[in-house]
Amino acid sequence: MNSQIPVTTLNDGMKVPMLGFGTYTMNGNQGAQGIHHAIDAGYRLIDSAYNYENEGTVGEAVRRSSVPREQLMITSKLPGRYHSYDKALITIQESLYRAQLDYYDFYLIHWPNPKQEMYAEAWQALIDAKRWGLIRSIGVCNFLPEHIERLKKETGVLPSINQIELHPYFNQEEQRMFHEEHHIATQSWSPLARAKNILGEEVLQEIARAHNKSISQVVLRWQYQLGSIAIPRSSSHERQCENMAIFDFSLSETEMSKIASLTRADGRLKDQDPAEYEEF
Ligand SMILES: NC(=O)c1ccc[n+]([C@@H]2O[C@H](COP(=O)([O-])OP(=O)(O)OC[C@H]3O[C@@H](n4cnc5c(N)ncnc54)[C@H](OP(=O)(O)O)[C@@H]3O)[C@@H](O)[C@H]2O)c1
């Protein structure tokens, strides 16, 4: 059951697939079945979060699967209300108990919550949890360059990954350049912009027709060619497979720029600007 997904190496030496699977709202037995199907389809990187209340569901899917645990990469995330050092360490352990896992491959700070201003303390807890073997690789989500600079200044340790909102309506060009300069991998959340308006975009329809692919495949291929690790979610096995079939065609420079032209300064899906927005 070897997966066809190309792999990249992170700044801490971890190897990770260039396409993963999102699980937001996938909970309970139905969620576990859906995630199990995604693993069957060939996904090896599975995203979750303490705040999705589905770490247990992901753990159950891992146990239902015949793919050995060590071939899977499981992610969870620290919520904003547990940024203090002691609470962060307890939360990481609680995340592991919920999933019934011995370690997470990735543990990320979910939001910087800059007004609360405790993310550097939380980061120190992640650094120590990694040292103690609870996590293999540590990263962040939704961190702006100034937040990452602060982590570097206070701890000397850069995240391996920054998971950010990235889709054709918000292509994050500057943030991606910053990641490249600092050897931080970009991971795209809502990579399909939740598959609403995007499916009606003429420019995407035209490119999809030219390659005999679906719009979702074109968007995910665009993500891959940008160098970002997309984590699309789908509850349907058919669409899970469809979203993986993106490694047998490529987009031209012109097509890449046409997709980039859909980007707008206010293109975020829910106006969640990490400089202001906080989530607990
Ligand atoms: N770090 C953060 O702050 C953060 C924030 C948001 C999300 N995330 C993570 O990112 C993951 C992905 O983002 P997302 O779930 O928000 O959105 P998404 O992956 O962009 O879109 C998911 C939606 O697209 C539909 N879809 C998937 N494949 C499709 C296809 N081939 N054709 C048509 N429709 C398709 C799905 O419907 P069906 O299920 O019916 O296929 C679902 O409604 C999340 O699940 C979560 O793990 C992280």
Who lines ligand 1 at CB under 6 A?
Answer: 22-24, 47, 110, 141-142, 163, 189-195, 214, 216, 231-236, 239, 242-243
Confidence of residue 3 (pLDDT cuts 50, 70, 90): low
Confidence of residue 4 (pLDDT cuts 50, 70, 90): confident
Confidence of residue 2 (pLDDT cuts 50, 70, 90): very low
Q: How buried is 239 (Cβ within 10 angstroms: 0-12 exposed, 13-18 middle, 19+ buried)?
A: middle
Q: 249-266, pLDDT tens digit by residue?
A: 999 999 999 999 999 999
Ligand 1 centre distance from Cα of residue 178 (Å):
25
Interacting residues of 40 by C-beta distance below 8 A, sequence separation 6+: 1, 65, 237
Which one is catalytic: 50, 52, 82, 224?
52
Measured CA to CA, the distance from residue 251 to residue 43 in angstroms comes to: 23
Say what the pLDDT of residue 187 is: 98
Measured CA to CA, the distance from residue 252 to residue 266 in angstroms comes to: 26
Q: 98-130, pLDDT tens digit by residue?
A: 999 999 999 999 999 999 999 999 999 999 999
CA distances from 149 to 9, 156, 210, 218, 274 (A): 22, 9, 42, 34, 15
Of 190, 204, 205, the residue with max ligand 1 atoms within 8 A of its CB, to mutate for a pocket test, comes to 190
Interacting residues of 110 by C-beta distance below 8 A, sequence separation 6+: 49, 50, 51, 77, 78, 79, 80, 141, 142, 279
Q: 131-158, pLDDT tens digit by residue?
A: 999 999 999 999 999 999 999 999 999 9
Interacting residues of 94 by C-beta distance below 8 A, sequence separation 6+: 50
Measured CA to CA, the distance from residue 162 to residue 143 in angstroms comes to: 7
Could you tell me which of 107, 113, 180 has the C-alpha nearest to residue 150?
113
